[in-house]
Structure 1
Amino acid sequence: MYRAKFATKLAVGMLFSVAASVIALPAAVAQTRLTNASNVVNYAGQDDAFLALRNASRANKADMVDGLASVLSNYDIPSYVDYYRLKPRIKDLIAPESEIRDYLTRYDGTAIADRLRNDWLLELGKAGIWTTFDQQYPLFALDDDTQLKCYALTSKALKGGNVADDARALLTNPKDYGQGCTDLIGTLAQNNQFTQADVWFQLRLAVESGYGNVGRRLAPFLDATDAQIAQAIDRSSIVVARGPGADRAGHELFIVALGRLAKNDPSQAAAALTGAADQLKPSERALGWGQIALQASLKLDPMSADYWRAAQGAMLSSDGYEWRVRAALRAGDWRMVKSSIEAMPSALRDDPTWIYWLGRSLLADGRKTQAHKLFQSIAEQTNFYGQLALEELGQKIVAFSAPSVITPLELAPMQKNEGFRRAFRFFDMGLRFEGTREWNWELRKMTDRQLLAAAEFARQSDVLDRMVNTSDRTKYEVDYTQRFPSPHRDVMSNNTQALGLDMAWVYGVIRQESRFVKTARSNVGASGLMQLMPATAKYVAKKVGFSGFTPDQVNDVNTNILLGTNYLSMVLNDLDGSLPMATAAYNAGPGRPRAWRATLPGNVEGAIFAESIPFNETRGYVKNVLSNATYYAALFDGRPQSLKARLGYVAPKNFTASALP
């Protein structure tokens, strides 16, 4: 049941689907008729035509877009009608520049205009129209597109600017590269701002991240052919068996192939590297061990810490730096934890995760004053590691907040806010992506008081996910009742009491799973407040004797909570009462936490177990849920709480919960 993050989507291919929650329209527009050369389509209302327009535009079906847009000339969200009409023609710069500029002027300052500028900039960068790109890029408000950042650096480099350091800092996640970032790497390689070592590093990064196609696009800038790179990626055992060869390219391809081989068998890759050691420079051997160590760490291989020691001095990816620390934590090697964090780039080292663990390594070395200084630097943060740091300072987690009541005067601007109105309009149509974008756009420059007022407006409108996310943004005034709501309390209390289940933990799960959106549906089919998969819901319904259960009942609040709490109880009992493991099981399935536990060298802190979960999503999920649960307990009980107590210890499979310290 490994599930991606909650995201509600409307299938692009369903061009004429009818939204389940279409808003009733006046009789005059109750039926909309679209005539096309090949068909006649009737819609129950303009919202249906709008949904069809959106999907046709996103599918780049320009022939349908104009016809659909023409029947929406009086639609109450004209900026989106015009956007969807224009978007397919932004591609390859088919639309005249004057038309694009006119749109940006008409809807200046709106979220959708910024989105269109993003679309346009991508096409300008792709086409190399740098004068217009350079004029428009500073106007892109969100500036959250890695490809655009790459294009901006390319433009600067082509004008003679030295951008190598900025590029190295930016180019860390090949998933986000696209054409813009591979173009940047090529430009910097051609003008000698990137060395061959830089480009080979990018290839290794792409391959270890699972984006071999990105790595292959770098072939023109390396002393290796596309065929050679493809063989190192796809037929790694052949390349490893052949050995490093005599030239630089052969050595680099051997190192890439070692990493690929280690995905399946780290010990085999380690043996091959040991056998070829005398043919490699010390720096190349370190790179090879780094490639093997990362894959071994992701498998929770007990040898991974030894592999990392052999990789000393290697240039690592962000994942490499982080997993070296995690391997040291699992091995209980606090000196290695300290040295590995200190070797990180500063931007990575400043993350609260590594500030906390560096503090713990200093404590293990008897350097309490320095450790406490680090803990104090993050203890005010209301996140997993902020909470743990607070406990290291001898305090507990509280949820006492008393911001002054939001006044009608403060609430009035939120009620009149056009962006919020559009957001609610989209939510009513089931378009949560568009609604969330509109809502978040309005929050960008708000003060804490304004954010609290916006969150209160969301609460009064029963849009609890926006209340939670908005309130989470405040820095100085905190309203924990907004951040950690507990709706359906009577239903929840009845179910958790009957099962002997911690209600705070269940609310922590719901907050992470659905943010209290009752009709939430993930992109893999999980539904409702507790995001139950269909097969799981059916299984639990049968186990608890829920006769007559049908899949459509899973979005009913009572049913969803009944089945979800029973499933949580089952996995908790199955995993010896360990909250970290049961939480991981709810996200990734019960088999995986059992397998992860089996690799432990002994009893470890729950925080170490959580930090070394090899799935990124599940690792973040466990930390967030247990952080949430601690705040909920503080609210429910009215007294300070311990996150460390909730985390407890996790033992190898041959231990039981009663044997834990």
Structure 2
Amino acid sequence: MDSQRMLRNLVVTAMLMGLSLPAALAQAPHYGTNINEQRQRYLSAREALQLNRQQEYQALRAELDDYPLVQYIDYADLSRRLNRLPFDDVDTFLERYAGSYLAERLEREWLARLADERRWEDIVRYYNPDNTYTSLTCYAHRAWLELGDDSQLAAAGELWNVARSQPNECDPVFEAWMAAGYLTPDIAWQRFSKNIQAGNRSLARYISTLMPDREQQLAQLYLQIDQQPERLRNLDSLSARTPEVREIILHGVRRLARIDAPLAMLLLNQHHEHQNFDDEVMLELQRFIAMRLLVQGFDEETETLMRNTPGLATETLVSWLLRDALRDQDWPGLYRLLTYLPEEDRASERWQYWRARAIVMLNHDGAEAEAQGIYQSLAGNRSFYGYLAADRLGQPYDMTDIPVAASQAQRQALYDMPAIVRAHELYHIGDEINARNEWAHATARMSPEQIGASGRLALDWGWHRNTIQAMIQLQHWDDLELRFPLAYADHFNSAAAQLGLQPQFLSAITRQESAYMHDVRSPAGARGLMQLMPATAREVGRSLGLQISSDDLYTPDVNISLGSHYLASLMEEFDNNRILAAAAYNAGPNRVKQWLRRTEDNPVPIDVWIETIPFLETRGYVQNVLVYAVIYGHRSGNPVPFMTPQERTALL
């Protein structure tokens, strides 16, 4: 028996046994007196359909018209029969369930089926430009052509002129489009340029064969400069003052800067004397080269360039130098470099904090009072730098909490949306994938007030990921209950007590890793609540005498147990320092050890070490986890310090 069916049976058994639902859930309008009976009938009908027991399925289906998920078995039944081209049944489904997630899905699948059969008239009839993808759009264009209608042909240029290859289904349309004379030298150059810059060189070479002689020669020059940007030294070959040549030069300078930034800057200036590039173009390219100078170790040259070129400095550029100064604990250099930041960035929490630190370290006249004033202004923020400042002042942490406005009536009104009712029922029978699809389909069409109410409704259901997502959609950052739900608290408390960890720390790691999506899988293959890699999980499992499969990691209690044991091992490895353990959880313990070796000869304070973590993702990860742990301490009624005394005084 597969895990999904096991989950279904457990849910249904519990409900049939009369176990009570949370009061908020029981208010759902479809929880009538026969909901358990309907649910069981639906699940039995779905199973009968899967096993092709048609007579049993039809009998059960006849009694399900009022059940919220009836369209799911109608869809399953119909999708199995699309090869038979059941036009009447498709029309009935699309009309009955118009506007729903499944109706839109079936509409696309139906059109693809018609395309396979070359049913040109039917393709035109069913094609919906608001519910399509590239292959279907190309089939629609081909259908118009096959029916003698070329009024849409000019629009095919938008499909052709892109920075990638298009599906083979588009080829007949593109051939007709070109035969009709719509491919101009300018359009061909546009697509050629897009694909060169996207790194699609083979496609770019093919496009060049469609160009007239003049453009073909320029395309060959473009390809040569792309492959060997050092050819920019030959100024005579690039002397023509045309848009194409300017573009070739600018592209070549970018390519050259990646391998030899000083030469790129020199050649840019030489070509600029002849081409007279636009000021904004020059500034943008100089900024790009300056970053490459930093990557290649030319720090002094970059600072000189910023000093001599007003407007060149950006936060990204200057922050590289600032972090180098921090790593070297060069406080005079840090103080000087802060003046290069654009005014808006200089006023940010991050750089105001480091300005205060530099002022104290340099001990200027009135330094202590000035620094205290900056810390005071920061300490009122619920943030990493706000909490650093609060610690320096010995003040409580800011816990601004402004709940989103969402009344019970507004929450209840969401049940007027069939998609919300379907999402609710799918969630409760364990079909979270389709529940998420329905929820996303509904919330994409909601007003801000409805989105706020949806966050509260999801909290009522215990669907924590969607409470967080609603606040992201609204960009409402101050509702702590919705942004930081107390999910899986019993699991975290048990694991923490067993392993000597802070449960708030475990919650913070999980909130950062998965936002409480127990079935999520990252592009790298990490799974579940605490985003464990299967190999890591198996290793931890072996140490506990357990045999762990990848699918086990989607089970919350298994994932939390393994993730907590792994985090405990990192805490032991890094002397019970949560900062290092969190960095290792994100980037791997070997990388953290490399970063520690980098400062062995010149240990730095903990705030400097965090600020100079080489990986932007890990730097933000550690900062978030520390803040989230404080928030979870506040929310659970068991406060924790932003940093322990051992962490705060550590030199790394």
Q: Secondary structure at the match of 1:562?
A: helix
The question of whether the paired residues in 1 share the 8 Å contact of 2:379 and 2:397 is answered with: no
Instruction: Work out the CA distance in 1 between the residues paired with 2:137 and 2:646.
Output: 46
Any gaps of 5 or more consecutive residues in structure 2? 9-38, 53-60, 62-69, 145-150, 153-157, 171-182, 240-244, 326-333
Letter in 1 for 2:433: L
- Larger C-alpha radius of gyration, 1 or 2? 2
Question: 1:18-47 deviations in whole A, cap 9, x for unaligned?
Answer: 988678626566544899xxxxxxxx9974
Instruction: Work out the CA distance in 1 between the residues paired with 2:225 and 2:51.
Output: 54
Letter in 2 for 1:340: L
Distance 1:334 1:516, change over 3 A: same
Distance 1:84 1:487, change over 3 A: closer
- The aligned residue for residue 457 of structure 1 is 457
The question of whether the paired residues in 2 share the 8 Å contact of 1:270 and 1:292 is answered with: yes
The question of whether the paired residues in 2 share the 8 Å contact of 1:458 and 1:466 is answered with: yes
Alignment of 1:403-442 (within 5 A): 408-424=408-424, 427=427, 428-431=430-433, 434-441=437-444
Instruction: Work out the CA distance in 1 between the residues paired with 2:119 and 2:395.
Output: 59
Question: 1:319-346 deviations in whole A, cap 9, x for unaligned?
Answer: x94431321221233433442334xxxx
- The aligned residue for residue 34 of structure 2 is none
Instruction: Work out the CA distance in 1 between the residues paired with 2:590 and 2:393.
Output: 36
Q: How far apart are residue 453 of structure 1 and its match?
A: 4.5
Instruction: Work out the CA distance in 2 between the residues paired with 1:216 and 1:381.
Output: 54
Instruction: Work out the CA distance in 2 between the residues paired with 1:217 and 1:391.
Output: 62
- The aligned residue for residue 568 of structure 2 is 569
The question of whether the paired residues in 2 share the 8 Å contact of 1:390 and 1:396 is answered with: yes
Distance 1:639 1:586, change over 3 A: closer
Instruction: Work out the CA distance in 2 between the residues paired with 1:380 and 1:474.
Output: 23
Distance 1:490 1:295, change over 3 A: same
Letter in 2 for 1:329: L
- The aligned residue for residue 323 of structure 2 is 330
Instruction: Work out the CA distance in 1 between the residues paired with 2:131 and 2:380.
Output: 35
Alignment of 1:92-103 (within 5 A): none
- The aligned residue for residue 558 of structure 2 is 559
Question: Which one is further off, 286-295 or 581-590?
Answer: 286-295
Q: How far apart are residue 557 of structure 1 and its match?
A: 2.9
TM-score by length of 2: 0.60
The question of whether the paired residues in 2 share the 8 Å contact of 1:341 and 1:358 is answered with: no
Distance 1:230 1:289, change over 3 A: same
Higher relative contact order, structure no. (Cα contacts within 8 Å, ≥ 6 residues apart): 1
Q: How far apart are residue 373 of structure 1 and its match?
A: 10
Letter in 1 for 2:305: A
The question of whether the paired residues in 2 share the 8 Å contact of 1:575 and 1:582 is answered with: yes
Q: How far apart are residue 470 of structure 1 and its match?
A: 2.7
Distance 1:532 1:499, change over 3 A: same
Distance 1:518 1:291, change over 3 A: closer
Instruction: Work out the CA distance in 2 between the residues paired with 1:312 and 1:501.
Output: 49
What RMSD, in angstroms, separates the aligned Cα atoms of the two structures? 6.3
- The aligned residue for residue 87 of structure 1 is 108
Question: 1:172-220 deviations in whole A, cap 9, x for unaligned?
Answer: xx99xx99xxxxxxx9x979xxxx9xx99x999x57xx88899999999
- The aligned residue for residue 160 of structure 1 is none
Any gaps of 5 or more consecutive residues in structure 1? 1-16, 36-43, 57-61, 105-113, 133-150, 155-173, 180-186, 262-268, 343-348, 650-656
Distance 1:51 1:217, change over 3 A: farther
Instruction: Work out the CA distance in 1 between the residues paired with 2:371 and 2:207.
Output: 44
TM-score by length of 1: 0.60
Q: Secondary structure at the match of 2:424?
A: helix
Question: 1:332-365 deviations in whole A, cap 9, x for unaligned?
Answer: 33433442334xxxxxx57xx9722453466457
Q: How far apart are residue 488 of structure 1 and its match?
A: 3.1
Distance 1:409 1:294, change over 3 A: same
Question: 1:127-166 deviations in whole A, cap 9, x for unaligned?
Answer: 9xxx99xxxxxxxxxxxxxxxxxx9xx9xxxxxxxxxxxx
Q: How far apart are residue 516 of structure 1 and its match?
A: 1.9
The aligned length equals 536
Q: How far apart are residue 536 of structure 1 and its match?
A: 0.7
Instruction: Work out the CA distance in 1 between the residues paired with 2:310 and 2:126.
Output: 48
- The aligned residue for residue 512 of structure 1 is 512
Letter in 1 for 2:469: N
Question: 1:385-432 deviations in whole A, cap 9, x for unaligned?
Answer: 676687799854344748699865454224444332243356543426
Alignment of 1:210-609 (within 5 A): 225-233=218-226, 235-236=227-228, 239-240=229-230, 243=233, 245-246=235-236, 247=238, 249=245, 251-261=249-259, 269-270=260-261, 272-273=263-264, 279=270, 290-295=287-292, 303-304=298-299, 306-307=301-302, 309-310=304-305, 321-332=314-325, 333-342=334-343, 349=344, 355-360=348-353, 363=356, 364=358, 384=384, 396-399=396-399, 401=401, 408-424=408-424, 427=427, 428-431=430-433, 434-441=437-444, 444-447=446-449, 453-471=453-471, 478-542=478-542, 544-575=543-574, 577-596=576-595
Q: How far apart are residue 286 of structure 1 and its match?
A: 8.0
Q: How far apart are residue 535 of structure 1 and its match?
A: 0.4
Instruction: Work out the CA distance in 1 between the residues paired with 2:564 and 2:340.
Output: 43
Q: How far apart are residue 509 of structure 1 and its match?
A: 1.3
Instruction: Work out the CA distance in 1 between the residues paired with 2:321 and 2:465.
Output: 38
Instruction: Work out the CA distance in 1 between the residues paired with 2:512 and 2:87.
Output: 38
Alignment of 1:67-216 (within 5 A): 70=89, 79-87=100-108, 89=111
Q: How far apart are residue 507 of structure 1 and its match?
A: 0.7
Q: How far apart are residue 530 of structure 1 and its match?
A: 0.9
The question of whether the paired residues in 1 share the 8 Å contact of 2:471 and 2:477 is answered with: no
Q: How far apart are residue 559 of structure 1 and its match?
A: 2.4
The question of whether the paired residues in 1 share the 8 Å contact of 2:464 and 2:487 is answered with: no
Letter in 1 for 2:254: V
Q: How far apart are residue 529 of structure 1 and its match?
A: 1.5
Q: How far apart are residue 229 of structure 1 and its match?
A: 4.0
